[in-house]
Structure 1
Amino acid sequence: MTTTPSPSVWPTFRARDARGLMAFLVSAFGFEETVCHEQDGVVHHAELAWPPGGGVMLGSARDDGKAVTTGGFSCYVVVPEGQIEALAERAWGAGATISTELHVTDYGSKDFAARDPEGNTWYFGTYPGAHRATS
């Protein structure tokens, strides 16, 4: 039997306007805010869940000695079959900059890419990753 394990890697990044970016990711892409620890306008830790599984973690850009830049983040988000076209329309309608139009890859995935207001690139596609043998 082969299967793809549940997500246990959560990409993390920082934003100049964490609250604004979170609102954009919910509106444009359909992420769901699940946790936000904020104090005095600084988001120390937030989690946005991707409804089919996994998600991202983010916080406000701040000078805390950690070498984290803003606007250079990218990741690939798996979209269930039959939903990619609607997501591309949703992203475009919410003002996302579409950097790669919806297309079919040479390995059969339907993909598109969009940039958020902070300059991060989000790749969306139907390819769920290679199946791995389990014991």
Structure 2
Amino acid sequence: MTTHENPTVWLTLQAHDAPALITFYTEAFGFTVRARYDEEGTDRVAHAELIWPEGSGGVMLGSHKPDGEWSTQPGTAAAYVVTSDPAAVHRRIVDHGGARRVSDLTEKDYGSSEFAVVDPEGNQWSFGTYPGES
């Protein structure tokens, strides 16, 4: 198992079905669960942390709490994930099913190989090799 330092920036989101979305992110996208705390006696997730295995990025998520102090509408997040092998991630997501394809794997004019999907809750995800300007 790879050990990563804690991310300094986290994507945060809420989900209508957080347990299912966590399963989707681990099985289809390849995230790993670092922490998960369920609300006692329910099928709701109070807080979960998922780590991207190729770097220090992470996602914090939980079940939607419309009246909560920190509430976001499910399906409104968007993220770009850097991967050294977008073809393998694309293949895993397509083979898994459950994501709506926005764009197939393509070579961009700025040198990145990338694709985009929408997860089962409606969040937008792009995966590619572009690491940002150095």
TM-score range, shorter chain: 0.7 to 0.9
Identical aligned residues as a percent: 45
Supply the distance in 2 between the matched residues of 1:42 and 1:7 (Cα, whole angstroms).
25
1:49 and 2:63 matched: no
Supply the distance in 1 between the matched residues of 2:69 and 2:48 (Cα, whole angstroms).
19
Deviation at 1:65, TM superposition (A): 4.3
Which aligned runs of 4 or more in structure 1 are off by greater than 3 angstroms?
none
What amino acid is the match of 2:53? P
Q: Render the CA deviation track for 1:59-81: whole Å, top value 9, x for unaligned.
A: 1001324441011111000001x
TM-score if structure 2 supplies the norm length?
0.87
Q: Which moved more, 1:63-72 or 1:16-25?
A: 63-72
Supply the distance in 2 between the matched residues of 1:104 and 1:20 (Cα, whole angstroms).
32
Supply the distance in 1 between the matched residues of 2:26 and 2:20 (Cα, whole angstroms).
10
Aligned to 2:119: 116
Supply the distance in 1 between the matched residues of 2:95 and 2:48 (Cα, whole angstroms).
25
Structure 1 counterpart SS, 2:88: helix
Q: Greater Rg, structure 1 or structure 2?
A: 1
Structure 1 counterpart SS, 2:9: coil
Aligned positions, number:
124
Deviation at 1:41, TM superposition (A): 2.3
Unaligned 5+ segments in structure 2 are 1-5
Supply the distance in 1 between the matched residues of 2:38 and 2:47 (Cα, whole angstroms).
7
TM-score if structure 1 supplies the norm length?
0.86
Aligned to 1:75: 79
What amino acid is the match of 1:57? M
Q: Which moved more, 1:22-31 or 1:39-48?
A: 39-48
Mapping of 1:1-135 within 5 angstroms? 7-39=7-39, 40-53=42-55, 54-62=57-65, 63-80=67-84, 83-95=85-97, 96-131=99-134
Supply the distance in 1 between the matched residues of 2:72 and 2:53 (Cα, whole angstroms).
27
Aligned CA RMSD, in angstroms, stands at: 1.4
Structure 1 counterpart SS, 2:36: strand
